Chains A and B, each alone.
Chain A
Amino acid sequence: MTAAADLYRALVLDHGKHPRNLGRLAAATHAADGDNPLCGDVVRVEAEVVGDGVVALRFSGESCVLATASASLMTERVVGMRTGEVARAIAAIEARCAGSEARGAGSEARGGGGEARGGGGEARGGGGEARGGGGAPAGGTLPKLDDVLQAFADVHRHRVRIACATLPWRTLGRALGD
């Protein structure tokens, strides 16, 4: 594995093979369907938003490992965020995947904020149970935004795959924009 190793990092493979928060959300307040016409990937994102906070997020569909892992990581990372923060996270992921690093410094600042909110996500418990001993490199804690950004750091080298990694996030953006 040479060129593929940078794309299929441990965190991506873990979430791609053992996706978290896969399924439908009965209490969804926001939802959207997304697809990549080129490869046939489809993903549905369902979110429960209370006030301006995302309290639950699930995804379903048929997609490649990259899109599945990206969706899984997204569901873990985004729960507990406010919708404004989600919008910034989506922009950061899209920029990272596209290889436009102008926002690099800003993403760290947001990563710090993400860490603080990560506690809130863990407190929910449900996400932790769903993990089912996946053995994430993060050691059982929910991924920070920087972990997610790092996981997709080399996607920009594989131009046809950028749309795979960003599909769930773009779909979430449309769901929350409803």
Chain B
Amino acid sequence: MEHHANIVPWQMLCRARGAVLRVAPVDDRGVLDRDAFADLVGPRTRIVALAHVSNALGTLNPVAELAALAHAHGAVVLVDGAQAVAHVPVDVAALGCDFYACSGHKLYGPTGIGVLYGRAALLDAMPPWQGGGEMVRSVTWDEVTYEAAPQRFEAGTPPIAAAVGLGAAIAYLEDHDPAARMGHEADLLAYAAEALARVPGLRMIGTAPAKIGGHSFILAGVHAHDVATVLDGEGIAVRAGHHCAQPILRRFGVAATVRASFGLYNTRDDVDRLIAGLGAVRALFAP
């Protein structure tokens, strides 16, 4: 159920290093098959990479449980938290992951910046991936001494303005009580699920019991991009397309879905508007 960002880099690594990429399947609800996952992880598993929350399905993965299983086989666990950080409080120690990545633009912050958490012992053991200023202690024509982690991974002048913006976005999120945020979004998600289920011809893609962030769906006889264009005209912003998650959409037999995502600023009125907008879509494209 991964985003291309958590697929393509591993494919590149596999090609460069001769590693093998193995994929854990999901069931028809979009829930990870834990037995299959357990069978796939073994002594030769080096890295387990998984989404905290699926951007295409909304599935919330049981990261702590899966990380413990991976660690039992000596694997390093990397979590793609891009879709999670704006919606759930993240405690990397409680999750038990070794790396946790997230993007600024998914938590109401700027594009082009993000956060990569890494366990100190692993970071200390890793060589720099890029050379330049800021990441060195001293340089001669013959020698270079690197800074300690994490500075040694941040060559060159950083995107300072984006970092300030990201800090402001995180402060904004932290100004809101996490339990209240989660409660508000859970209410919206449940309210929307009920309302969407009543829309004729609508099929929800991703029906995991534990969902976060939004709903992905298709409307019978109407292409996702046509749905999105009409909704856009009604002042409703949804995402249409493959969500950079083509393999999981293929798993569900669709090329594109419409995704309505909810943030802490959304209300039940917004959901009502979405449902009314879908009525307009159906009216316009009725055969």
Question: Which of A's residues lie within 8 Å of B, judged by CB?
Answer: 1-5, 7-8, 13, 16-17, 38-41, 62-66, 158, 160-161, 164
Contact = CB atoms under 8 A, between A and B. Distances in A.
A64 B233 CA distance: 17
Given A64-B226, A164-B225, A40 B256 contact: yes
A64 B280 CA distance: 17
Interface residues of B, number: 21
Contact of B241 (A1, A39, A62): A39
A47 B280 CA distance: 37
B241 A4 contact: no
Which 7 A-B pairs give the minimum distances between C-beta atoms?
Answer: A40-B255, A64-B223, A4-B233, A3-B233, A4-B230, A2-B233, A40-B256
B242 A40 contact: yes
Contacts of B229: 3-4, 7-8, 158, 161
B172 interface: no
B287 interface: yes
B242 A65 contact: no
Given A4-B230, A62-B255, A39 B284 contact: no
Interface of A is mostly: loop
B249 to A, nearest CB: 8
A160 B284 CA distance: 20
Contacts of A8: 226, 229-230, 284
7 contacts: A1-B284, A2-B233, A2-B234, A3-B232, A4-B234, A65-B223, A66-B226
Contacts of A2: 233-234
Interface string B221-259: 011111001101110000011100000010000111000
Contacts of B222: 65
Nearest to A6: B233
B225 A161 contact: yes
Contact of A39 (B232, B234, B240): B240
Contact of B233 (A1, A17, A38): A1
Contacts of A17: 285, 287
